[in-house]
Amino acid sequence: MSRQTVLALLRQREGDFVSGEEISRLLGLSRTAIWKAVDALRREGYLVEARTGRGYRLLDAPDALTEPEIRRFLGETGQVGRALVCLKEVDSTNLYAKQLAAEGAADGTVVVADRQTAGRGRLGRSFQSPGGQGIYLTALLRPDLPPEKLAPVTALAGVAVCRAAERVCGVSPGLKWPNDPVWGGKKLCGILTELSLEGETGRVQDLVLGIGVNVSQQPEEFAPDIREIAASLAYAAGHPVSRPALAAEIIREVDRLYDALKAEELGAYLAEYRRRCVNLGRTVRLLTPDGAGETAEALDIDRDFGLVVRTADGGTRTVRSGEVSVRGLYGYVE
């Protein structure tokens, strides 16, 4: 705790020296406790200068997904992010959030990890989650809504990530249906939503919204099997991206989408989704679980965020689940 209080004081005076005597008087800490707190901060990556006769000053902070660094950018939110759990490593933030849900964690609790050892994507795929390079974040939501009202959550999260990236990084991603933020034909982010229902009543118990973002990887740092289909925000922007700043902005955007979902005011999200959707007006391939599929033309996004397509026989239908490949994207070139 002394480490956090010393950090908070140094941050208030950022760039200026604060004497050990003043820190001791303001925080009620001994000189030894102050030294230990500063040493702990340095080991965490904070650059703290100490000068005889002048005291300590904070020169730089690490690009760390810790609660002090995220809250530095976050500010107040309506619901999402009030409770924030930051982990150095976890198997999966979604699994951890489910565990917290079973233990009674509050609506809006957010779990953030620097690294996942068993990150998961849609359809049981793994999601590569190296330490120090991405954001792996799950929001635990307890909406008082029927399950059918929650179908748009994944699409809304795609819009939320795009908005956050645009604001923090200066990059304007597209959206590949149903929920992948993309740039330059490559995937920037994975989103996985999981719903728990009460067995007897079918009432929603909780919803975990998982978001994994590639932030700082260079192309050669991706594993060979995804190198041709993955990109990072720092590479897209052409400059470093602060992970805590981006995590805070994503949390704020999830808070906003949660309010919109509960109020059933999704018009602005639908309009933005249509504007960003890279499928529309293009040839797509509708894939089936057995690997077969058919080509079609993507026409529109309906009010429930389904993909309206025209098939080879001239008919139209709406795709609500499954996989859709876009010609020229993620390796689909046939």
Domain residue spans of the chain: 2-60, 67-276, 283-326
CATH of the domain spanning 283-326: 2.30.30.100
Distance CA 100, CA 111 (A): 9
In the block, which residue shows the tokens 């908005």?
163
> For each successive 10 residues of the chain (334 residues), what is the average pLDDT?
86 88 91 91 90 91 92 93 95 95 96 87 61 93 92 95 97 92 93 86 90 93 86 95 97 98 96 96 80 84 93 89 60 38
What pLDDT is recorded for position 124? 53
Burial (CB < 10 A; 0-12, 13-18, 19+), residue 122, is middle
What pLDDT is recorded for position 291? 64
What pLDDT is recorded for position 324? 72
**pTM for the whole structure:** 0.86
Bridge-based pairing state of the strands 110-113 and 84-87: parallel
Q: Does domain 2-60 have CATH number 3.30.750.200?
A: no
CATH class assigned to 67-276: alpha beta
Handedness of CA 234, 237, 238, 244 (dihedral sign): negative
